[in-house]
Structures are given as structure tokens and as C-alpha cells.
Amino acid sequence: MSNVTVLPFIAEIFSRVGFVCTCLFNAILIYLTAFKTERITGAYKYLIILFSLICISFSCLEVLAHPYLHNYNGGFIYFSLNDYLGASNELLKFFIEAYSGAYASIMCMVAVQFVFRFATLMNRKTLLSSFSGFNFVIWILYPLFFCITFGMMVHYCAQPEPFSDDYMKKELFRVYNLEIEKTARFIVIAYNANGSVRWFNLVFLFGAMIILGFQYAVIIFCGIQMQRKMKKELKNFSLPNRKLQQQFFKALVVQITLPTVLFHLPALPVLFSPFFDVKFTFQTGFIYAVFSLYPPIETVAFMLIVSEYSNIFKKSINRRPSAPDKRKISETEESEENMKKKKHPKLKRKWQAEEEFLGLQLLPSNVMRTIVEKMSVEEHANFRKVCYYAHDEVESYWRSQRSISISQLMIWFPKLSESKWKLTSLSGILDELSAVFYLFKPGNLRKLSLCRVASINMNSLVKCIELSTGMSASKFLENVEELDLRGCFLSREHIKMIDELFPNLKALILHQNAIMPERNIKLPYKKQNEITHYVKMSSDPKHVEYGNVPEADKNVVAFLSQNLPDVRHIYIDLDA
């Protein structure tokens, strides 16, 4: 097989292998992200699915267009080698245009994911709000806009005309044995016969560079800012949360490094060589062949880097039925028989013949739950490795949790009871809270009690939640109905943040003088304000006062009525 046909043949193999792998791996990624992952939620989940769909579309268009590139002296021809569809040249040209647009969309989606991680890590609330609800459409239209723009530049700025066809006609026939009139093609030539610049071709090249350059500028800016932030802030967080954020960041770095190395760096001199008027001929279509492997490689790398996916694979492959394994029991009995034959050097005791050791599978679920409830978080991590029954019970325990309190933290982290000085401020227990937020299933939290923590900084709480869960704090706390802040002192600015962070808050529990009035400022007080004293959300009101608010509580009630109008019950603990 001659060199004339070898490279296009190899390119076609790469294209088809890339298509199969892209469809397979991205279908798996979409399924796992949509139905199996627990920690990848909200906007980031939709971004991953959207990116996978664009990658699949890109590979499908590549198979349909089968694009190839050939450089010849002061220009290059961008044409289709598809001869198995029997499609018209116009349809094949449309496939090439759509393929080029899909390529631009991939780069745009990488930039969008960098923007999202940047907004989450830097706590840019305005930017984060654009990823929630109907606003998410913005980030669907963003890659679509550049997809259409890139495709239109190919259509209008690289159209063949008599001069360009004559320039490439002999070369195309000599190398590929193709007649230029029967080939779907786009041609870029730097100079006319008289030496003048062909501006419409120049617009195509520099327009493409501007689009890609803008995406790289966004990526570099966000990447540098995130790297600086992680080095500075993640030192205050627990190791699991630090690893989670580092995994997301590494995945993004891989997403931009692969196309840069596989495509952009090799393509840059090729695309701009016509303007140097270098006399040479080269089959540069192998660049597209290599780039066709980017989507599947990127998908596999992402699932390997983010442990959420590798854990799902390990659990699926190694999962066994929860019933007692007869083979294991028989092996255990054999080992016990061997132990019976051995004499203990000190006790000189022989095992009774009828004594057997059975697995945890025989324990009732309520007994297992009691065992798990008494364990610390560190003990949970070890216990879940004992067997799949223990693993599932620990998972079930955390899925069923609905509240977080200081007393629970002391059970989950026994050393905390020995270091009560940490309760002087929220920053002292951020590591413990980060670990718990990471284990909680998003949306399950109903009650949050920070009672006994003297000083609370709401900004620290927001960063703690977002770094440990990978989602916005308001999304994680959206179902919280009761917030207990007895014994806590908050600034007026932080108490105002409660309305935004807890959209469905129904009850707020404070102590007297929790909010001190500012100097020379009188707060308007309405006599119809209601103070409800109760023990639990489900219990009847303990004491209700209408128009008879104690003097010490007037400032607190007036301030909360102004800033938290949706809170149904204000509970002021007179004993706190």
C-alpha cells in the first residue's frame, strides 16, 4: 500500500475506533452521572452530561464528514474522504461545517466547566446563580453560539472558487486521485496570484484563533485563580474534602491538556504556514485522526480521576449477595478445625466441637444499625471495609440522616469532647463539619443545630459546604426547616445571610440578646409580632405571646421581622 493511501486509511481507522469508544464510554458516563453518583449533583451533573452529549455528537459528525487536511505551498484544502454514504457534496460540506462547530463547542464546554468550578471555589454567588434554574440555559446557548459562529466562518470564508480550485486541483489528484469538482471541500489560500492578501481567508483563520483564544483566556484565568485559592484555603479543610476538590481540578486540567497537546500545538504551524509562503506539500489530516481519540480518552481519564466513578465500578464488580457465603463459612470451619487441633501454650484450652463463628450477615438489621449509630466517622470508614453487609449498612445510615448537631458531632468525632475549646468559634470545627457534609446526601438535611458554638461566621459555613459537597450552599441547605443558634453570637450582616442560605426555613431558635443593636439606631417594633417558644418542631407551642414581647427580646424580634420575613416561628430560649 503506497504512502498516498496509507495515511487516509489510518485516519479512517482512528475515526471509527474513536466513534465506537466515544459512544460507549460517554454513554456509561451519562448513565453513572444521572443515576448512580451521589456527590455529583446540581449544575455540575448537568454540565458533565451536556459535555458528554457534545462529544458524542462530535464523533458522529466526524464519521459522517470524514474530514481530512492537506497543506500545499501557500494554502491548504479541507475536504471529505467519505465515499461510503453516497451523499451529495453539499451534504458532506454541511457535515464538515457542523463538525467544525462541534469542535468549537467542546472547547467552549471545557471553559464553562472551569467557570463553574471557579465560581464555586471563590464563592461568586452572582455567577453561581447563573448555573441554577432557568438561568442554566445561558450555558447551553454559550457553546451553541460559538458552534454556529465557527460553522458559518467555514461556510462563508473558506468557500472554493476558480482560483483556489486551480491552485489545488493537480495536487489533490496527484496525492489522493480525487477530482476537485467531485470533492466536498473548503480551501484557504493566503495570497492571490498578484501577491495580494486574500482577506476572507484571513478572516477565517484569525476568527478561529480569536474564538479559541478567548476560551483559553477564560480557562487560564480561572485555573490560576483556583490554584491560588486551593493552596491558601484548602489547608483549613479535612483531607477527604481536599482530595475531592483536587480531583475535580485535575480532571479539568486533563480536559484542556489533551486537546492542547493532541491538536492545537500541532495544528498551529500547519494552519498559519500558508502566510509564510513555504514551498512544501504534506498530508496533515493525521491531526484530525489523532484528535478523534480525544473524547474517549478524556472520558476515561475523568472517570479514573474522580473517585466517585471508580468506587461505583469497584462496588459493581465486587458486589456479592448479602446472604452468608457457604464457601467462606466452610473455609472458616476448616480453619477452626485446625485451631482446635492446636493447643494454646498458656490457656491449654480446647475449642468445643459445636462452637462456630458466623458472619455479620446473620445479625438483624436493627442490631447492625445500633452498632453503626454508636460508631465514630473514623470507625465507619474501617467498618464498611469488613464486608458488603457492613458497607451497605453504613451507607444506609448516612442516607437516612436528617439532622446535624453539636451533640452528634461529638459522637461522630469523640476527640471533639476532649477539645471543647474548638466550640468557641465555627472555624474550630470546620474539619468535622466538612467531613459530615461530605457524607450527607444532598437535600436530606432538615435540621441544623450549632447550639453552643459561640461565634459563627456564615461565610465560613458557605465555603465549608461548597468545598466539601461541590455544590452551592443554598442548594445543599434548601430543605432545612429548623436552625438552632442558641448560645451563638452573630453579626447583623451574617444574620441577613440566613434568608438566602435557608430558603425554606420555618423556625429559628436564638437566645436573648443574640443580636446587639447598633449605636444610635432604633428598630421599628410592631406589636403584632409573635414569639413562639417550643421544644421540638412536632410539639405544641410552649408559650405564645402576642403584643407582650419582653423588653430584652424587642430588638431581636424587630430585626428578624425585617430581614427574615418568611420565618414562621422565632423561638427565643429564655434559659440559654
Domain edges within the chain: 3-312, 329-348+355-398, 403-573
Please work out, in degrees rounded to the nearest 5, the angle formed at the alpha carbon of residue 513 by the alpha carbons of 515 and 563: 35
pLDDT of the residue at 355:
54
Q: How confident is the model at residue 426 (pLDDT cuts 50, 70, 90)?
A: confident
pLDDT of the residue at 323:
45
On whether the CB atoms of residues 110 and 252 are closer than 8 A, the answer is yes
By residue count, the chain amounts to 576
- 541-563 as b/e, with b when 16 or more CB fall inside 10 Å? eeeeeeeebeeebebbbbbbbee
Pick the residue with more confidence: 149 or 310? 149
Of the candidate ranges 273-277, 311-315, 525-529, the one whose mean pLDDT is the lowest: 525-529
Of the candidate ranges 67-71, 112-116, 516-520, 559-563, the one whose mean pLDDT is the lowest: 516-520
For the chain, give the mean pLDDT.
Answer: 79
* Greatest mean pLDDT range, 122-126, 198-202, 351-355: 198-202
pLDDT of the residue at 299:
92
pLDDT of the residue at 310:
85
Residue 164 CA, distance from chain mean position: 47
Q: How confident is the model at residue 367 (pLDDT cuts 50, 70, 90)?
A: confident
Pick the residue with more confidence: 575 or 54? 54
Q: How confident is the model at residue 516 (pLDDT cuts 50, 70, 90)?
A: low
Section 158-187 average pLDDT: 93
Pick the residue with more confidence: 512 or 294? 294
Tens digits of residue pLDDT in 219-249 = 999 998 888 877 665 554 555 556 766 788 8
- The DSSP H or E segment spanning 232 is helix 199-233
User: 3-312 belongs to which CATH class?
Assistant: mainly alpha
pLDDT of the residue at 181:
92
Residues 335, 337, 341, 345, CA torsion sign = positive
Section 9-29 average pLDDT: 91
High-pLDDT (> 90) share of the chain, %:
29
